[in-house]
Amino acid sequence: MAIGFGLSDVGLWVSDSSWPSVALMAAVARRNAKVQIASRRASATRAMLKARSPVSLRRRDPARCCYTSTRRPRSNALTNWVRNKASDARRPEFVYRYDSRAPAEIAQHGMRPYNVNAQRPLMDHVRQNNYASQWTSTSRDSMIPGINNKLYVYKIRLPANGVDANTHFANHGETNPYAAQHEYAIPGVIQSQNVVGVMKVTNFLRADARGEAPNWVAPAAAPGDWGGG
């Protein structure tokens, strides 16, 4: 007399005209227990995913839910707005500029661009380093390459019209060739009250090498032997 068994979606079935053996009944019980455990786990997973769905979250607490669409925006306006908001969150309070002008001149006249009446696009200013520009280049980093023979490093409170050059390039689908400089370009005159500190470059670099905090001095209070005072 042959005894056969197989697996189905329900469990294990038995084909035999006689009463199944104890071992076979135990196998059936184990199989059915596994099916029940798997079914409960699947139900729990479905319930968890449903509870975490955006619709469920919004129903329970609107503040916890925001939708992320996979569709492309109708225009670049929304994309640029989001990118600019992210940039604003990282916007520094202070920026820095290496400059050969004496502190006394900056204290009296502010920091003027080479051509305050120019109308050059920012990307041209960055790419060409054009001196006939209404932009003044600054950096969010106090240590930047290309210091050359500049005598002073100025600490500037970033005005509201300062533009993040990297973000500006990205908004136009371009890559800033000098992205590593983290430039913030400021149009027009940087008012003297926004130039909050100055150091001689040699002193600044020496303090940095020693791991010391910079000893900023207001341009109007800079020592006379620094020049122009």
> What pLDDT sits at residue 135?
94
In the predicted model, is pLDDT for residue 195 greater than 60? yes
Element containing residue 12 per DSSP (H, E):
strand 12-15
> What pLDDT sits at residue 69?
41
Quote the CA–CA distance of 228 and 110 in Å, as a whole number. 14
Q: Which one is predicted more confidently, 10 or 144?
A: 144
> What pLDDT sits at residue 45?
75
The residue type at 227: G
> What pLDDT sits at residue 50?
67
Q: What is the mean pLDDT of residues 139-158?
A: 81
Q: What is the pLDDT of residues 95-115, one digit of tens each?
A: 999 999 999 999 999 999 999
> What pLDDT sits at residue 106?
95
**What are the DSSP calls for 88-143, one per residue?**
HHT--SEEEEEE-S-HHHHHHH-B--S-TT----HHHHHHH--SS-SEEEEES-SS
Quote the CA–CA distance of 137 and 229 in Å, as a whole number. 25
Q: Decide if domain 93-219 falls under CATH 3.90.210.10.
A: yes
Q: Where are the domains of the chain?
A: 93-219
DSSP state of 49: H
Burial 204-229 (b: 16+ CB within 10 A, else e): beeeeeeeeeeeebebeebeeebbee
Residue 205's pLDDT band (boundaries 50, 70, 90)? confident
Phi/psi at 53 (5° precision): -65, 150
